[in-house]
Every structure is written in C-alpha cells, then in structure tokens.
C-alpha cells in the first residue's frame, strides 16, 4: 500500500515526497533503470523488487525471502545480475551459511537464484559491484574479522576469487601476530572502487586506499585512522570523480553506532586525496542543531551513509534520526546543506532511522528506514 500524503512528511526543504512504500525496514536501496531493489534488515523479508516507472505508484514485482538466523540487508544490481549478502543475524539454520546470493533478474518479476558463493563465519556485510567484479567484506576461515575479497562474476554461475587483502595480523591461521587484544577487532566494512583504486572503510581501524591495478595483488597506498581519538567507526569512503575546486576529494562517513565511549552524534569528514599517499582532512559536516553542547547522545542520532550514486557535487546522505540531508560540496572546505527531507517516524517508533539512500537517472532519491518503509523523494521541485 502506497501513500504520498502530507501526514508522512515531518519537515521538507527543497524536497517533495513523491511516494511512500509500506514495506519492512531496509538496509540498502538500489535502482536499476526503473526497477527498485530494497534489501531488508530482518528475515523473513530478504529483497523486495518494485517497478518504479511511475514513481508516484510503485508496484511490487517480487520478494526474495531469507530463513531465520540470517539476513540479506544489502543489494546491488547491474546487467541483469543481482547480488545480495547472506550474513548471520541471530540464531537458527546454521546450515544456510554466510556468503553471497547471485540472482538472474533479467525478468525482475521472477528472480532466479544462479548460485551461492559461500564463506566461513558470519558471512558478507557490504560491497561494491561493477557488473563484472564484486568487492566484498566477508569473514573468512582463519581470519579475525572481515577482510577484503574480490570476486570475478564474468560467469555468474562460477564466481572466482581473484584477490584479497587484509590488515597484517588478521590472518592468525597463517601465524600472523594479532596485536589488538586490548582494542576492537579489525573489520572491513566495505570497499568502493574507482579506477584502479579501492577505497576501503575498516570500522575502528580507519580507512585504506589500495592499488588494484593487479586485482590478484592489491597493494597499500595509504591509511588513516581517526580512532580511538574519535569514538565512531569509519563506515564509508566515497571518492568523487574528477576534480572539485582543483582537488580530488573523498567523503568519509562515520557511523553513529558502536561508540568507543559515550559521545555526541557522529559526522562526516571531507578529505583532500590529491596526494593519495597522504590524505588530509579539510572539513567536516554535522546537521545544524543536533549537537548543541557536545554532550553524549543516543546511537543512531547522527551520520550513517552517503548515496554511492550522485550527480556533480550534490550528495544525498541518510542521516539516521535526521532523515535525508543533501550536501553541496562545490566548495569542499565548506560543505553546505541545500535540501532535506524528514519523514514522520514509522508507527510504533520514537524517531526515524534513515539507513540508506540512492539516486536514479531521473534525479529521484530513494530513502529507506531500517525500521519500516521506503520514501521516494524529489529534490528541488519546481
């Protein structure tokens, strides 16, 4: 059931609600052409597929379900291939196992499982996918925490591992000395590819830039870690294509969870990576007014995830309890909010929890709440 009424909008600035999808809470949203894919947080809901050719009237086409004990809260699609993560969530069905579900969605009304790539441990968290290669953050046999793996899906029925990288010390099965007994274990959150580089967020171990000109042998270019001085984990490292004000920039989002200590809400960083051997922070952004005095606040008040698809220097963000925030980064030293959309909290919830956002070729934003519902939002309506 869909609605696009004023009762769903709490506040909107330079934005307009086009439609609301009444669906289980989402972890990630992705649009391929005029087909929307929503990856859900909790089983049995796995992945919902909607026709959004008419964005004011989304139409459910199919639903892929998950067994108890596992979720598939991330999804990427390209060239008729859908990949979803399989990650442990709670108890049940140990035989299902973690990994990556690979589907044929050339007919989005009838998704067909091609195969499953399996891995040891809790499974895959988040990833990038360019239609040929998938850049994953799986757990793996013999390793502590999630690492980087690269899969070749040239033949989706036979995914082939072509490369891997980890922080030295994670591969304890190979005898590497583990140095973090008194700290948070290392955990690759997810890599993003641009050109022959991977930009890898690594939770409380910061971020890494990897040279993947040789996919089989990723090489470290540089590393930065703001923890433990800053209490929030590094969630996403999103490089901008081209130059902005004569510089190459990267947005680094810290997630407002898993705090090392009570703290105010997390924010996002802007880095100058013109010299990628020495990334330099040049600015930060926080939603105005949510951190008036620096006092600790509950988790999921602040920053979460930027849209990994965007146009020019306008970047939408899912900002947990603050909904959709849209930044202008034309001057990367002074990031400026230029639009926002805050929904009314879902029924039974105290506040919203905007988890992910993406854009389509029409410039529409798709914002999903991890508790319930997905919103289609037009920016800068005429």
Q: Please tell me whether the peptide bond between 256 and the residue prior to it is cis, using omega within 30 degrees of 0.
A: no
d(CA 216, CA 318): 34
d(CA 281, CA 298): 26
Predicted local distance difference test score (pLDDT) of residue 3: 45
d(CA 212, CA 188): 16
Give how far Cα 218 sits from Cα of 55, 135, 177, Å: 41, 12, 21
Predicted local distance difference test score (pLDDT) of residue 5: 55
Query: Mind listing the pLDDT tens digit for each residue in 354-370?
Result: 999 999 999 999 999 99
Phi, psi of 174 (to 5 degrees): -90, 5
Residue 209: strand pairing partners: 199, 222
d(CA 354, CA 304): 8
Reply yes or no on whether the pLDDT at 2 is more than 80. Answer: no
Query: Mind listing the pLDDT tens digit for each residue in 166-193?
Result: 999 999 999 999 999 999 999 999 999 9
Which three-class secondary structure string do you get for 214-256?
Answer: CCCCCEEEEEECCCCCCCCCEEEEEECCCCECCECEEEEEECC
Count of alpha carbons within 13 Å of 248, Cβ hemisphere only?
12
Reply yes or no on whether the pLDDT at 73 is more than 50. Answer: yes
d(CA 37, CA 169): 37
Predicted local distance difference test score (pLDDT) of residue 174: 97
Helix (H, G, I), strand (E, B) or coil at 329: coil
Average pLDDT across the chain, whole number: 97
> Measured in whole angstroms, how far is the alpha carbon of residue 76 from the centre of its chain?
10
Phi, psi of 248 (to 5 degrees): -95, 130
Phi, psi of 10 (to 5 degrees): -85, -50
Query: Mind listing the pLDDT tens digit for each residue in 31-53?
Result: 999 999 999 999 999 999 999 99
Beta strand 70-71 with 2-3 is: unpaired
Reply yes or no on whether the pLDDT at 6 is more than 80. Answer: no
Phi, psi of 357 (to 5 degrees): -145, 145
**What domains are there in the chain, each with its CATH number?**
2-379 (2.130.10.10)
Give the Cβ contact number of residue 32 at 10 Å.
19
Reply yes or no on whether the pLDDT at 128 is more than 90. Answer: yes
Predicted TM-score (pTM) of the model is 0.97
Predicted local distance difference test score (pLDDT) of residue 139: 98
Helix, strand, coil % (nearest 5) of the chain?
A: 0, 50, 50
Query: Mind listing the pLDDT tens digit for each residue in 312-334?
Result: 999 999 999 999 999 999 999 99
Confidence of residue 1 (pLDDT cuts 50, 70, 90): very low
Query: Mind listing the pLDDT tens digit for each residue in 210-261?
Result: 999 999 999 999 999 999 999 999 999 999 999 999 999 999 999 999 999 9
Q: Which two tokens stand for residue 196?
A: 């022959």
Phi, psi of 292 (to 5 degrees): -70, -25
């Amino acid at each position: 059931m869909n609605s696009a009424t004023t009762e769903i909008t709490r506040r909107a600035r330079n934005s307009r609600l086009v439609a609301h999808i009444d669906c289980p809470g989402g972890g990630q949203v992705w649009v391929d052409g005029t087909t929307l894919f929503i990856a859900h947080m909790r089983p049995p809901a796995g992945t919902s597929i909607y026709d959004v050719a008419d964005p004011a009237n989304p139409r459910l086409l199919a639903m892929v379900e998950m067994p108890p004990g596992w979720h598939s809260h991330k999804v990427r699609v390209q060239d008729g291939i859908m990949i979803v993560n399989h990650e442990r969530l709670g108890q049940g069905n140990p035989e299902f196992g973690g990994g990556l579900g690979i589907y044929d969605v050339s007919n989005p009304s009838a998704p067909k499982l091609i195969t499953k790539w399996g891995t040891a441990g809790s499974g895959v968290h988040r990833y990038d996918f360019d239609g040929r290669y998938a850049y994953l953050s799986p757990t793996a046999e013999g390793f502590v925490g999630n690492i980087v793996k690269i899969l070749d899906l040239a033949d989706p029925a036979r995914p082939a591992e072509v490369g891997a990288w980890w922080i030295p010390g994670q591969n304890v099965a190979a005898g590497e000395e583990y140095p973090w007994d008194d700290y948070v274990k290392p955990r690759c959150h997810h890599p993003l590819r641009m050109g022959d580089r991977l930009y890898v967020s690594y939770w409380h171990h910061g971020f890494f830039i990897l040279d993947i000109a040789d996919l089989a042998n990723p090489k470290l270019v540089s590393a930065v870690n703001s923890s433990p001085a800053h209490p929030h984990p590094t969630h996403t490292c999103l490089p901008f294509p081209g130059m902005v004000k004569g510089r190459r920039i990267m947005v680094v989002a810290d997630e407002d969870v898993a705090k090392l200590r009570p703290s105010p809400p997390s924010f996002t960083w802007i880095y100058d990576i013109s010299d990628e051997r020495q990334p330099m922070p040049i600015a930060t952004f926080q939603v105005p007014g949510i951190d008036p005095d620096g006092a600790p606040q509950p988790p999921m008040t602040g920053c979460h995830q930027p849209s990994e698809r965007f146009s020019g220097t306008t970047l939408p963000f899912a900002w947990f309890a603050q909904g959709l925030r849209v930044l202008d980064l034309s001057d990367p030293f002074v990031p400026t909010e230029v639009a926002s959309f805050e929904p009314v909290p879902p029924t039974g919830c105290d506040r919203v929890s905007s988890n992910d956002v993406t854009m389509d070729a029409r410039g529409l934003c798709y914002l999903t709440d991890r508790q319930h519902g997905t919103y289609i939002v037009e920016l800068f309506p005429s």
